[in-house]
Amino acid sequence: KNQVEQSPQSLIILEGKNCTLQCNYTVSPFSNLRWYKQDTGRGPVSLTIMTFSENTKSNGRYTATLDADTKQSSLHITASQLSDSASYICVVRGNPYSGAGSYQLTFGKGTKLSVIP
Amino acid sequence: KAGVTQTPRYLIKTRGQQVTLSCSPISGHRSVSWYQQTPGQGLQFLFEYFSETQRNKGNFPGRFSGRQFSNSRSEMNVSTLELGDSALYLCASSLRDVNTEAFFGQGTRLTVV
């Protein structure tokens, strides 16, 4: 069964500090992995999208890494700001062109990040 | 460029009723997918449409259905509502294929009483 596990479930950090969120997945075959930021009551907003051949991708203070061999990804947030308080969701898309692969997106349950002054 | 628009934003229905939610994708986007988000289960995939055809379907009962029109706008219908259907329903649009970006709308908050 395709699964995406995120850790930690929640995290509290001081403004200005760095943090790293983890994502492990079992989706196979794999097409791409995405990180989204979701503010409370709003739709998710894309931060990064990586295919299996990409190891790292940055978007401002957000840097995502991917190890397709170990099926692990991380999202590193540098110099956190109060506005970074949100849920961060890891999403993996299967590969529909490989055997029984599917377009389907599999979502992690997210990490709830709180940045405090 | 307008984003993904979902209507209505909030909805209250009683058990047994049916509901239709609407999603207008970003202009030019041909793929629309729907998701259910609950505190306990997180985001779960409902179905995906591309050029008026359902391309993929998640693991939800047949009470959940959808369609896509020729202008790419999509509707989702839930019949015989149950209390457990209370959730945030999100729609996302993307340009074309599996590696393109998906843009989410703000969602429709459905409450079943």
Tens digits of residue pLDDT in A62-75: 999 999 999 999 99
Buried/exposed code over B35-53 (b: 16+ C-beta within 10 A; e: otherwise): bbbeeeebbbbbbbbbeee
Name which of A45, A51, A107 is nearest B43 (Cβ-Cβ): A107
Residue percentage of chain B with pLDDT more than 90: 75
Asked whether the beta carbons of residue B55 and residue A103 sit closer than 8 angstroms, the reply is: yes
Amino acid at B82: E
Q: Report the mean per-residue pLDDT for chain A.
A: 90
**Alpha helices (runs of H) in A3-85, residue ranges in sequence order:** none
Q: How confident is the model over B33-71, as pLDDT tens digits?
A: 999 999 888 889 898 899 899 988 888 999 999 999 999
Helix (H) or strand (E) holding A34: strand A30-38
pLDDT at residue B98 above 80?
A: no
User: Closest Cα of chain B to A15: distance in Å?
Assistant: 26
B66 and B76 in contact (C-beta within 8 Å)? yes
Name residues whose C-beta falls within 8 Å of residue A30's C-beta, 6 or more positions apart in sequence: A52, A68, A71, A92, A93, A94, A95
| Nearest chain B Cα distance for residue A109, angstroms | 5
Give the dihedral sign, CA B84/A5/A57/A39: positive
Q: What are phi and psi of A38, to 5 degrees?
A: -125, 115
* A105–B42 CB contact, under 8 Å: no
B-chain CB neighbours of A51 within 8 Å are 99
Q: How far apart are CA B110 and CA B7, in angstroms?
A: 11
